[in-house]
Amino acid sequence: MPQPLNNDQRRETVNTRQRYEAFRSAKAQLRHYRGSMVWSRTKDIEYLLRSAYGDDDGRRRQTSLGPRSPETERIKHEFDTGRAAARQRFEAARAVLERQAAINRVLGLGRVPLTGARIIQALDDAGLLGRALRVVGTHAIYAYEAAAGLFVDPEVTTTEDIDLLYDTRRELGFVVDEALAEAGLLGILKRVDRSFERARQGFRAVNAEGYLVDLIRPESNPPWQEMRESLSAAGGDLTAVAIEGLAWLENAPSFEAVAIDEKGAPLRFVAVDPRVFAAHKLWVSQQPGRDPLKRQRDLAQARAVAELTATHLTHLPYEAAALRMLPRAVFEAAEPLFRPETPQGVAT
């Protein structure tokens, strides 16, 4: 059975969410001032130059804002003072969040394994989380339990890998992170841990401790249709592997929550709708070719997520109208899991 938070934990969970939102707002404001604004002399005339990162490819570009004049001096003054204020606000918000993390550790609120948390944070910083990539698999349960305000049995959540669902429907023109443009997803993983390397299976990266990151995508429909397999053109980057049933997850609504990592720091999760997660996990647990041990774990995860959704995330009722991305047979098979008043057992 899920373990509910006590009063202290609930209070500090709310505080964490509020302070993390303030931190993210301050971080976004400071990001607006990336680059620089400087005077540069050309042929005895000073020009105001703005260096910034382009929104299309993340590359640094320099633009002239005109010769020195009262107007360009005003522009530079506003930029400098605005950046200083934004940095001061960011540093203050970060200090508050660090103190909050210490409180969270004392209260035992830290749940998300540190390596996975750092990967998710790096993807969020790169602008990929919730746009090109969403968290699926076991790690997604941390988002669901955080939103529900409880702890799921560690036997259901413990994992040494993370699955990233690549949404092949999205265009990647929005990406503004230089690391992705130049080194790809593997380059981002290496920023988290230098020991990450592409495994023999091109869709997987593994670090020195054996932690796995898998890039997965739905099967092509029709089968001969070409789909993007990589997030970048960087040589040696991860290439997504096609897996049956992932089209349901790809078409599922996104689910966003703030969870807390093992060191007490908050992070933003973007997973798939927990109803679709549970229905998909149940379906996976019934596949004859699935490893028997994994099938048992899949079923336990389906039950746990369905239970917390039905009892704590009541704004997400299990209704066919909202879950049309699921095949009827899959939807109907999972429906009993979402009835708290009935025993949670299904035929497998």
Same domain, 45 and 83: yes
Residue with tokens 């299990």: 318
Same domain, 264 and 279: no
The pairing of strands 161-166 and 212-218 is parallel
Same domain, 252 and 280: no
Same domain, 186 and 218: yes
The neighbouring-strand residues paired with 150 are 4
What is the side-by-side order of every strand in the sheet holding 45-53? 36-42, 45-53, 60-67
Letter for the amino acid at 218?
P
For the chain, give the longest Cα–Cα distance: 83
DSSP assignment of 211-223:
-EEEEEEEPPSST
Per-residue pLDDT at 175 = 47
Same domain, 87 and 144: no
Same domain, 159 and 49: no
Round to whole Å and give the CA distance between 344 and 308: 12
Per-residue pLDDT at 322 = 94
Per-residue pLDDT at 173 = 47
Per-residue pLDDT at 343 = 47
φ/ψ bin of 330: left (φ > 0), alpha (ψ from -120 to 50), beta (otherwise): alpha
Per-residue pLDDT at 160 = 86
What contacts 24+ positions apart, CB below 8 Å, involve 55-60?
A: 55/174, 55/176, 56/173, 57/175, 57/181, 58/175, 58/176, 58/177, 58/178, 58/180, 58/181, 59/178, 59/181, 60/35, 60/178
pTM above 0.75, yes or no: yes
Same domain, 133 and 248: yes
Same domain, 265 and 126: yes
- Of 237, 272, 307, at which residue does a domain stop? 272
Same domain, 161 and 266: yes
Per-position b or e across 212-251, b if 16+ CB within 10 A of its CB: bbbbbbbeeeeeeeeebbbbbebeebbbbbbbebbbbbbb
Reference 173, options 54, 253, 61, 28; nearest CA is: 54
The neighbouring-strand residues paired with 163 are 136, 214
Per-residue pLDDT at 170 = 59
Q: How big is the CA angle at 133 (ends 127 and 136), to the nearest 5 degrees?
A: 135
Q: State the angle between helix axes of 274-285 and 140-148 in degrees (0 to 180), rounded to the nearest 10.
A: 130
Give 2-19 pLDDT, tens digit per residue: 899 999 999 999 999 999
Same domain, 213 and 125: yes
Tokens encoding 109: 């609120």
Same domain, 267 and 278: no
Tokens encoding 332: 């109907």
How many residues are there in the chain? 348
Per-residue pLDDT at 53 = 64
Residue 24's domain spans which residues? 4-106
- Of 46, 75, 106, at which residue does a domain stop? 106
Q: Which residues of the chain carry a pLDDT beneath 50?
A: 55-57, 172-176, 342-348
Residue with tokens 């057992």: 345
- Provide the domain count of the chain: 3
Per-residue pLDDT at 184 = 84
What contacts 24+ positions apart, CB below 8 Å, involve 94-102?
A: 94/23, 94/26, 96/19, 96/22, 96/23, 97/19, 97/20, 97/23, 97/265, 97/266, 100/12, 100/15, 100/16, 100/19, 100/264, 100/266, 101/263, 101/264, 101/265, 101/266, 102/264
The neighbouring-strand residues paired with 45 are 42
Reference 306, options 269, 280, 271, 324; nearest CA is: 280
- Of 253, 272, 291, at which residue does a domain stop? 272
Same domain, 125 and 267: yes
